[in-house]
């Protein structure tokens, strides 16, 4: 059975890993990734398309000239994309987050195992927790970089706007604002770092204690050594 100290520290790490798993689920499920206002001109008027969308679905509203709202519709992001490049980048972001979800799940399993037992295999101990937390953090960073690149570098909002309205001609400009579904990925990074720190402190304390036990004679009084 693990010691009380190990149980408490790995239980804390388990809570942070499970929290990370839950937050990734929220990130995937909610559509509040980005809000965009895309302005176009067409014959006789200017049109502003207001978009709110995530990785799977979103809504768009069309405003003509002085703010007259013409329509509000919902759409599926993948179905609305005609560009193979943008569709591939959107799918890649989803795949990266799913892999991060699996990494977080594995990390939760490893910390839970160490909470209730002392696994003999090295990789099932702190090394495995380090590995899967690090993998999850790297994948989250990739997702946080990949999505803005798709939105701003590859004009994702502009392409989605064309699917919401017809007869759009000249693109006049765009404004993007990232929502909570995007920014809470920073919380996932924080939770992964917290898990690593907790396990590191336990591992470091265990290593120091082991070194002290391996060299007891160095700390013994000289008269005891002579005797």
**Other Cβ atoms within 10 Å of 104 Cβ, number:** 31
Residue 217, pLDDT > 70, answer: no
pLDDT attached to residue 62:
84
222 in a structural domain = no
Number of H helices, E strands in the chain: 8, 5
Q: Return d(Cα 192, Cα 212) in angstroms, integer.
A: 30
Over residues 77-91, mean pLDDT: 88
pLDDT attached to residue 81:
85
Residue 46, pLDDT > 60, answer: yes
Cα angle 134, 140, 146 (rounded to 5 degrees) comes to 135
Task: Supply the range of the domain harboring residue 24.
Answer: 17-202
Q: Which of 127, 150, 124 is nearest to 33 (CA)?
A: 150
Here the tokens at position 167 are 């007869």
Over residues 38-61, mean pLDDT: 86
31 in a structural domain = yes
Query: What proportion of the chain, given as a percentage, has pLDDT over 90?
Result: 41
Average pLDDT, the chain: 84
96 in a structural domain = yes
Q: Give me the number of domains the chain comprises.
A: 1
3 in a structural domain = no
Residue 148, pLDDT > 70, answer: yes
Give the pLDDT band of residue 184 (cuts 50, 70, 90). Answer: very high
Q: What's the pTM value of the predicted model, to 2 decimals? A: 0.84
Check which CATH number belongs to the domain holding 176 and give it: 1.20.140
Provide the edge-to-edge strand list for the sheet that holds 68-76.
68-76, 57-64, 45-53, 34-42, 170-178
Which has the higher per-residue pLDDT, 126 or 227? 126
Q: Return d(Cα 7, Cα 114) in angstroms, integer.
A: 7
63 in a structural domain = yes
139 in a structural domain = yes
Query: What proportion of the chain, given as a percentage, has pLDDT over 70?
Result: 85
Residue 34, pLDDT > 80, answer: yes
- Range with lowest mean pLDDT among 93-107, 136-150, 153-167, 207-221: 207-221
Per-residue pLDDT of 112-141, as tens digits, reads 888 888 775 677 878 888 899 999 999 999
Cα angle 70, 76, 77 (rounded to 5 degrees) comes to 100
pLDDT attached to residue 227:
43
pLDDT attached to residue 69:
63
Give the pLDDT band of residue 163 (cuts 50, 70, 90). Answer: confident
Tokens 């759009």, residue? 168
């Amino acid at each position: 059975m693990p010691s009380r100290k190990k149980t408490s520290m790995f239980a804390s790490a388990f809570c942070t890993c499970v929290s990370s798993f839950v937050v990734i689920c929220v990130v995937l499920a909610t559509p509040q990734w980005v809000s965009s206002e895309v302005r176009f001109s067409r014959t006789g008027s200017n049109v502003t398309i207001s978009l709110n969308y995530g990785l799977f679905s979103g809504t768009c509203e069309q405003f003509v000239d002085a703010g007259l709202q013409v329509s509000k519709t919902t759409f599926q992001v993948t179905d609305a994309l005609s560009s193979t490049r943008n569709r591939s980048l959107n799918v890649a972001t989803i795949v990266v987050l799913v892999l991060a979800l699996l990494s977080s799940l594995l990390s939760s399993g490893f910390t839970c195992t160490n909470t209730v037992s002392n696994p003999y295999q090295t990789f099932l101990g702190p090394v495995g927790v380090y590995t899967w937390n690090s993998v999850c953090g790297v994948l989250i960073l990739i997702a946080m970089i990949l999505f803005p690149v798709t939105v701003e570098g590859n004009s994702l909002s502009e392409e989605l706007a064309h699917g919401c309205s017809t007869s759009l001609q000249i693109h006049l400009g765009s404004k993007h604002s990232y929502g909570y579904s995007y920014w809470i990925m920073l919380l996932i990074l924080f939770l992964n770092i917290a898990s690593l720190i907790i396990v590191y402190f336990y591992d470091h304390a265990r290593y120091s204690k082991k070194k002290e036990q391996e060299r007891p004679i160095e700390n013994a009084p000289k008269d005891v050594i002579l005797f």
